[in-house]
Chain A
Amino acid sequence: MLFHSWPFAVFGIVVYLGYLLLSRTRLGLLWLLAASLFFYGWAGPRFVLLLLYVIAVNFAAGLMIERSGRKKLWVAGTVMATLAPLLYYKYGVFGVESWNAAAARLGMKLGLTVPTILLPAGLSFLTFHALGYSIDCYRSHLQAERNPLRFAVFVAFFPKLLAGPIERASHFLGQLAPRPKRPTATDLAEGMSLFVVGLFKKVALADYLSLYVDKVYSAPDSFDGLTLALATFAFGWKIYFDFSGYTDMARGVAKALGLGLALNFNNPYLATGLGDFWNRWHISLSSWFKDYLYIPLGGNRKGTLRTYCNMLFTMVISGLWHGAAWTFVIWGFLHAVGRFATRELERTRLYRERVPRLLKQLWVFLFVTFAWIFFRAADLPQALLIVKRIFTTGLADPRFPAAMLVLCLLIWTYQHVYESNAKHMLEWAPVRVGATAYMLFHLVMFGSSGSQPFVYLQF
């Protein structure tokens, strides 16, 4: 059930009204859980069992880790038991295909039958939600949750279930204890604001940009370098609008219900370095990897070489998290290299003090955009073909829609102003009201009733 669909509109209203009635009773949490299970089961009821499995394993694990003297054993078992479905569903086909390719290259007749596996929506996200909790319990950063209902709502809460933000138990469970607060009219007003911005990003911007991107990327050998470059830029903005739009809508729905979700995107294309980029892009995932992978590996505490190894490993795993393909591994690798470069550059006084901020932003944007080629391409040969054609073919008229360009430039300018001293201009009530009215009008006028799924739902 997509946020920008009529079924969700009906579902959302019913859940909101029901929760208004029940939030002060013990049934409030039960209502949220029932709504979340219904939401998850909408596309495929059988995967609800998988969700319940992850909830049950990690709920029990939290209690056992806290009570048992063999915490390490319990947490290791929990990590394996929680990751097992993810490894099977997400990486099963990739593993078999990689094995078959390697066996074929070595001339061995050890090929396996490639299984047909349907990836449950949001599996990566709910796995990380639950794992973060169990690891926090192991580290004694968090006391195990005793109420299974509350824990189930933490893992399964529908706005964040399919594509995050990946909430930390310390942040989210606290909002449910002892009982969630009743949603207020202010919550609803704020939630609606977030939702409308997210809807605009998704329907008016991301879906629009994807028309151009899909056309070009579906036949890259038919287009010249300039067109391919523009399609890649368009994809950079498309994926940002798509994913941050989803997050805004998720945060809006949660806020309307009186619950706060973490900020997940903070104008990432204004980043001045790759480290800064990852502090602004998919913040909940990058901080998850930082806390549960990079720092346990040693972080930056064990010398420069080890720091870069840790960084490389974390980014490659992050790439693989996004998808089971070598293109994602390369994407992660490129970001790791970019981080090394900007980290070293930022240590020099010349770069820090003499290079204009806009220039830094521009090069980070160009680098990130280049890396998106590997993220978007169907496979590695196609990605390499696109890179080659961008640098070797001509500058034929790209026929890039002017309206698309104007919209992207307007958003980019807005973000610059928002992060400048002139921010107060954007906070002026007529500007906010006018912008919201325009977004609504644009959605009604130009929004398509056909829904395109969110990119990140496949992860």
Chain B
Amino acid sequence: MTARVSPAREATTEAARQAAQPLPNSNSIRLSWREWAITAFVFLAVLVLLSMFWPATGTQFVCADYRLPSDLSSDYWMFRQWTRYGLAHYPAVILGDSVIWGQYAKNDDTLSHHLNALLGRTVFANMGVDGLHPAAMEGMVTYYGGALTDAPVLVHLNPLWLASREQDLQEAGQGETRFNHPKLVAQVLHRPSAYHPTATEVTTALLERQVPFLSWKEHLIATYYGGMAPTEWSLENPYMLVSEDRGPSSFSAEDPGSPPMPWRERGIEPQDMPWIQPADSYQWHAFQRTIRVLKSGGNRVFVLLGPFNIHALTPASQARYQAATAAMAKWLTREHIPYYAPPVLPTDLYGDASHPLGEGYRQLAEELFSSPSFREWRKSWAPDKPHTGGEA
């Protein structure tokens, strides 16, 4: 601009002067730097204190054979609380998906229960989480499993996660086969091919892992708002601020997730699962990383490989399955990781392709209990005195 037209010059000079002034406003919310610092302090203090001292652990963990309710399987804050409580009251934990959780079993008919029964005391805490495939387990252990440090951990590997490209997260599934726990899988490096998150989803997942308040918020949403955003929940419950009959204690984990009946009775026919060989498997590599994370955290790790329901496979599929599990066992041996690959259970003791029924868990516990590798592993950390914690 030149000074040729003086009104314009005056206007621009006035505009520049105005720019240096506080803007006109329609409210009084205008903070100085000092006030912003105080605001940030107040805000952060509220977030930290709330998520630290929120009494959401309640009393539900204290019951025998506690397991995280399947409705809260995406409540990672609750998982963290459970590992903290569990490691303070149980000498060891069993980590895995719904096979460990006990999809077709009551909470007193699961693997952890039957192992504890054989041991004559409460030793193993059931830390199975519905849908926790190996890639999700890696995230769970890394970001929410801090309390597991130095603990003996029996890790279950459900081979089902290598059964197909969809299960192996190499291809996106449809509808119900859409994979579980996307917030737990790698968001940037090592991201599964089947996962195509938005930038917002990636950022949210990364922040939730690092900021305990955010996972606590998800816990509140899961326990008090039925898993819905509070705003959407208020549309259905217009005259309430929170659900009156909710809270962590209102979720029961005693009953099975599905009715216990043999797989044949469900109308399941033997399937020709293609099976991904471990060298090409995303889930297997994630499982290997999980083991490394646990070992680097001082954990004494034991791997339970299977038992998969090979009765539900065609002969050709059985052969591919055997090749895959043999390769896994080879790696575990090479890495000196104690493991046990139990023989297949009788066909009627499975509820589907991978989940045993209650009696199947009892037999599996006996198999495991009598296996030399398990006994040796247990001796490496078993306390001399009987442990009585965890009982109701």
Contact = CB atoms under 8 A, between A and B. Distances in A.
A177 B12 contact: yes
Contacts of B392: none
Interface stretch (A51-59, A299-307, A361-369, A439-447): A439-447
A177 B1 contact: yes
A171 interface: yes
Contact of B30 (A190, A207, A434): A190
Interface string B148-181: 0000000000000000000000000000000000
B327 interface: no
B188 interface: no
Given A143-B4, A170-B8, A403-B241, A215 B235 contact: yes
B8 A142 contact: yes
B319 interface: no
A423 B33 CA distance: 22
A251 interface: yes
B42 interface: yes
B2 interface: yes
A287 interface: no
Contacts of B24: 263
B27 interface: yes
Contact of A211 (B2, B8, B231): B231
Contacts of B16: 174-175, 177, 181
Interface stretch (A115-123, A193-201, A290-298, A325-333): A193-201
Contacts of B213: 444
Interface in A335-374: none
Interface string A207-226: 11001100100000000000
A7 interface: yes
Nearest to B204: A449
B170 to A, nearest CB: 27
Contact of A251 (B9, B23, B240): B23
A197 B29 contact: yes
A385 to B, nearest CB: 22
Contacts of B27: 197, 414-415, 418, 426
Interface of B is mostly: helix
Contacts of A260: 18-19, 21, 23
B268 interface: no
Contact of A189 (B11, B21, B33): B33
B47 A444 contact: yes
A26 interface: no
Interface string B235-274: 1001111000000000000000000000000000000000
Interface stretch (A103-111, A376-384, A394-402): A394-402
Contact of A429 (B35, B204, B235): B35
A29 to B, nearest CB: 14
A204 B15 CA distance: 34
Given A145-B1, A432-B29, A440-B39, A194 B7 contact: no
Contacts of A175: 15-16, 19
B231 A446 contact: yes
A13 interface: no
Interface in A139-179: 140-143, 145-146, 170-175, 177-178
B380 interface: no
A279 interface: no
Interface in B191-213: 199-201, 203-204, 213
Interface residues of A, number: 73
A156 to B, nearest CB: 18
B371 to A, nearest CB: 46
Contacts of B9: 143
A146 B28 CA distance: 39
Given A186-B33, A208-B231, A437-B39, A181 B19 contact: yes
Contacts of A145: 1
Contact of A450 (B12, B26, B200, B241): B200
A376 B24 CA distance: 30
Nearest to A431: B28
A112 interface: no
Interface centre among B4, B15, B25 (most CB of A within 10 A): B15
A458 interface: no
Top 8 A-B pairs, shortest CB-CB distance: A174-B15, A174-B12, A6-B203, A401-B234, A143-B8, A426-B28, A170-B11, A401-B238
29 contacts: A6-B199, A6-B204, A142-B5, A143-B9, A170-B12, A170-B15, A172-B15, A174-B1, A174-B15, A177-B1, A186-B33, A189-B36, A190-B31, A192-B36, A194-B23, A197-B27, A211-B235, A258-B19, A265-B26, A266-B26, A404-B234, A418-B26, A418-B27, A433-B38, A434-B42, A439-B29, A441-B46, A444-B47, A444-B217
Interface of B: 1-2, 4-5, 7-9, 11-16, 18-33, 35-36, 38-39, 42-43, 46-47, 199-201, 203-204, 213-214, 217, 229-232, 234-235, 238-241
Interface of A: 5-7, 140-143, 145-146, 170-175, 177-178, 181, 185-186, 189-190, 192-194, 196-197, 207-208, 211-212, 215, 244, 251, 255, 258-261, 263, 265-267, 399-404, 414-415, 418, 423, 426-427, 429, 431-437, 439-441, 444-446, 448-451
